[in-house]
Amino acid sequence: MSSTKQFHHPTMGDLELGFEVLHLPDASGQRLMTYTAAPGSPSETALHLLARTRTTIRTASEMSAPTF
């Protein structure tokens, strides 16, 4: 199964991501869902900005964390 899904991020706004549901080959019923943004789309740009923001936040907090 594949389609697109709309998301709203409080900072980045609306994102449109394609998704695909992959069923695992065993009989467990588990599924793997993948989400991707179309190349060159505003959603792809927003995801890249979010990734950079998250890395910056994590790096800053790690730097201020006390070490024992």
Task: Quote the CA–CA distance of 68 and 56 in Å, as a whole number.
Answer: 23
Average pLDDT over every residue of 55-65: 58
pTM of the complete model:
0.66
What are the boundaries of each domain within the chain? 2-63
Instruction: Note the pLDDT tens digit of each residue in 7-37.
Output: 999 988 999 999 999 988 887 889 999 999 9
Q: Please check whether residue 18 is in contact with residue 38, taking contact to mean a CB–CB distance below 8 angstroms.
A: yes
Q: Please check whether residue 14 is in contact with residue 6, taking contact to mean a CB–CB distance below 8 angstroms.
A: yes
